[in-house]
A and B are shown apart, each in its own frame.
Chain A
Amino acid sequence: MDSVFHRLYKEYQQDVFQFLIYLVKNRDTAEDLMQEVFIRVMKSYGNFEGKSSEKTWLFSIAKNVAIDHFRKQTTIKKRILETFDWNQRELVSKDTLPQEIVEQSEEIQELYSLLDRCKTDYKLVVVMRYIQELSIVETAEILGWTQGKVKTTQHRAIKHLRELMSHKRKEEEEDERFKMERSGD
């Protein structure tokens, strides 16, 4: 087996997989995309001159693969479905929660589900900054953005998630109150 492939895979496999699965929310899809990432990596490795870090270069390829996937899915959905709910925001996974998430607290499960209600750029920044723990500089390099844009997007994404979580919590509290009122009648 190609030694470059082996080294890159060994070093970045889990990071890239985690990045992809949090974006696409499906293990099989994430594994398919991993394959595409490494195909592109092998094709363009000869042109990589090491001016950026190997890690950010690899993540930028993974990001492009994920965005391509979203585009293709959107096109496929559009072709197949006569009535597509465009207000649904990108691809909302209908898969059951992965085991790793099910084992977490209810709040984490909620937040994981609510990531689907974010625009893709919010999701990318959130996954890179908080789940992959990449720095602002690394995130900016991967996305081809300025550091300022990363900070602004990150701020908006957190605000959006905060509002979604608060809204959900409010609904739950109201449900609770309603149930208590019903039981008191």
Chain B
Amino acid sequence: MSGSKWNDQEIKDLLKKMPKMKSGQSAEDLYAQIQREEQKKAAKKPPIWVPVGAGLASVGLLILLLPPLLPDQESMNSSAGNEQAAYDSGSHDTDEFSSSSTESSDDRRENEMEFADKEKHEADKDSAEIFSSEEAAPEEETSDNFTASDQGQESDENQEEMESQAPLEESGETELLFASELNGKAYLSTALVTPDSHIIPMTFVLPVDFSGQTPWELYNRWAGQIDEEGLGFIEFHPISTQVENAGGNVLTANIDQPENYLEEEPTSVFEDVMNATFGNDGRVQLQLLPDEDNNSVQANEPFELDNSKKGYYIFEQSTGDYYMVQSVRSFDTVEEAIYSMQFELPDDQYENAISEQLELTVNKAGDQLEITLENSLDDQAEQEKLQFVEAVLLTAASFDFEEVIFSNVSKEPVSGIDLTLPVEVPVGMNTHYLAEN
């Protein structure tokens, strides 16, 4: 080589000459070590379903205690969530979509209900040791700004909501989160990342009352409390504890090394997680700023987040458990989203939330979405019914509908959700409960 200059080929040749480095660890040793680590972890942490089960068990308890206070079913047909919308049966748009197919659906497992029952039973057994919203209430009184009268009012409102909600009876299995289940609690919407980079939207009910905190304030405070590894996900959060509103619809996040997220991760993973975290209340822009001490990185151009108009699918675990997951793309219309949910898959590991065998019609009526089934839902397994209902409710929420009316369905509730009444849309999915650390 002449002088001090190297050329590209010489560098490449040198790299190829780098020696092989070998691990002396045997498969047996590593396997034993992994088993030991896993046993240690299992001994330390409660099972994943415990917090969820506890929350559901507490709701179940409320339901058992409340019936004497509830009015009869006839009067329970008009409200949902915090913003109530009356159903106007005469205002249907002519806008319509229908679909049908005679193809058979994929094979499904039959033991799901058994699994859910078992979880519920175990959760009941353990409920004395774990977090429930009722138990947390006294702590909140000391940690928030609500006055006693505020809390009284809150409590009355909750009571009214409980009295008028359709979906809450025996809602033991769904992991959707309804506003009426919150009892004034704040919640954090975000997404977690699986080891193979799938994005799972999650909702964490927080052990504090909602007092007007913004999504980024909640994220700054609580994202670091999520035990991602314990839930089977990779450590991703928090990306920052300094997410702020820089004015207008621009959020800024001071993070140590923005290039870690934007270049080293597949960019879409980072953006999808941010979308699920900060893109739920209308269109915003997120700008990543270098940490104050980091002079080597320039601020990135803001990028746009908008988590609306999504379709929903099933992401099934090898354990038989499943998560609701959403499309990356936003659809132009709710009809397109529902069509995709029935006949398309955006990811090879997702499953359709709506069976191809179902023939359904979609109507829009103001704040309500009406789904009319042409054939019976009763042909579906209980879990398929629930997944169908959950996916439709989430999609309706994503398109800003307030309620869903399921027409031509049987009078039997689907996993506790009474489909003969307008069903409020959920505020979250794949719900977990965070305890104060």
Which stretch in B19-27, B68-76, B83-91, B209-217 binds the other chain?
B19-27
A119 at the interface (CB under 8 A from B): yes
Q: Known contacts A60-B196, A86-B296, A98-B21: does B31 contact A1 (CB below 8 Å)?
A: yes
Q: Are B34 and A71 in contact (CB under 8 A)?
A: no
Query: Secondary structure of the A side of the interface?
Result: helix
Q: Are A170 and B268 in contact (CB under 8 A)?
A: no
> Which A residues are in CB contact (< 8 Å) with B37?
35, 39
Q: Are A67 and B264 in contact (CB under 8 A)?
A: yes
In the complex, A134 Cα to B297 Cα: how many Å?
Answer: 29
Q: Are B235 and A71 in contact (CB under 8 A)?
A: yes
B148 at the interface (CB under 8 A from A): no
Q: Are A5 and B31 in contact (CB under 8 A)?
A: yes
Q: Mark A123-136, 1 if CB is under 8 A from B, else 0.
A: 01010001101000
Q: Known contacts A49-B348, A111-B14: does B235 contact A162 (CB below 8 Å)?
A: no
Q: Are B23 and A144 in contact (CB under 8 A)?
A: no
By beta carbon, the residue of chain B nearest A86 is: B294
Q: Are B196 and A57 in contact (CB under 8 A)?
A: yes
Q: Are A130 and B6 in contact (CB under 8 A)?
A: no
> Which A residues are in CB contact (< 8 Å) with B151?
none
Q: Mark B295-321, 1 if CB is under 8 A from A, else 0.
A: 110000000000000000000111100
B107 at the interface (CB under 8 A from A): no
Chain B nearest CB, measured from A92 CB (Å): 14
A46 at the interface (CB under 8 A from B): yes
In the complex, A38 Cα to B268 Cα: how many Å?
Answer: 25
Q: Are B22 and A14 in contact (CB under 8 A)?
A: yes
Chain A nearest CB, measured from B192 CB (Å): 13
In the complex, A183 Cα to B432 Cα: how many Å?
Answer: 74
> Which B residues are in CB contact (< 8 Å) with A108?
14, 17-19
A51 at the interface (CB under 8 A from B): yes
Q: Known contacts A14-B20, A31-B23, A126-B15: does B260 contact A144 (CB below 8 Å)?
A: no
B38 is contacted by which of A13, A39, A169 (Cβ under 8 Å)?
A: A39
In the complex, A5 Cα to B23 Cα: how many Å?
Answer: 17
Q: Are A68 and B234 in contact (CB under 8 A)?
A: yes
Q: Are B6 and A18 in contact (CB under 8 A)?
A: no
> Which B residues are in CB contact (< 8 Å) with A172?
4
Chain A nearest CB, measured from B375 CB (Å): 30
Q: Known contacts A43-B232, A67-B264, A86-B296: does B28 contact A1 (CB below 8 Å)?
A: yes
Query: Secondary structure of the B side of the interface?
Result: loop
In the complex, A1 Cα to B8 Cα: how many Å?
Answer: 46
> Which A residues are in CB contact (< 8 Å) with B259?
119, 121
In the complex, A78 Cα to B292 Cα: how many Å?
Answer: 12
In the complex, A87 Cα to B294 Cα: how many Å?
Answer: 7
A9 at the interface (CB under 8 A from B): yes
Q: Are A104 and B17 in contact (CB under 8 A)?
A: yes
Q: Which of B351-400 contact A (CB under 8 A)?
A: none
> Which B residues are in CB contact (< 8 Å) with A9?
27, 30-31
> Which A residues are in CB contact (< 8 Å) with B7?
162
By beta carbon, the residue of chain A nearest B19 is: A100
B33 at the interface (CB under 8 A from A): yes
Q: Are A60 and B11 in contact (CB under 8 A)?
A: no
By beta carbon, the residue of chain B nearest A71 is: B260
Q: Mark B255-287, 1 if CB is under 8 A from A, else 0.
A: 011011001111111000000000000000000
Q: Are A74 and B8 in contact (CB under 8 A)?
A: no
A40 at the interface (CB under 8 A from B): yes
| A–B pairs, 19, beta carbons within 8 Å | A6-B27, A13-B23, A35-B33, A38-B30, A38-B34, A43-B232, A44-B195, A51-B348, A74-B256, A87-B295, A87-B296, A101-B18, A111-B11, A111-B15, A112-B18, A119-B263, A131-B18, A144-B265, A159-B8
Query: Which 6 pairs show the lowest CB-CB distances between chains A and B?
Result: A46-B318, A144-B266, A40-B195, A130-B15, A17-B23, A170-B4
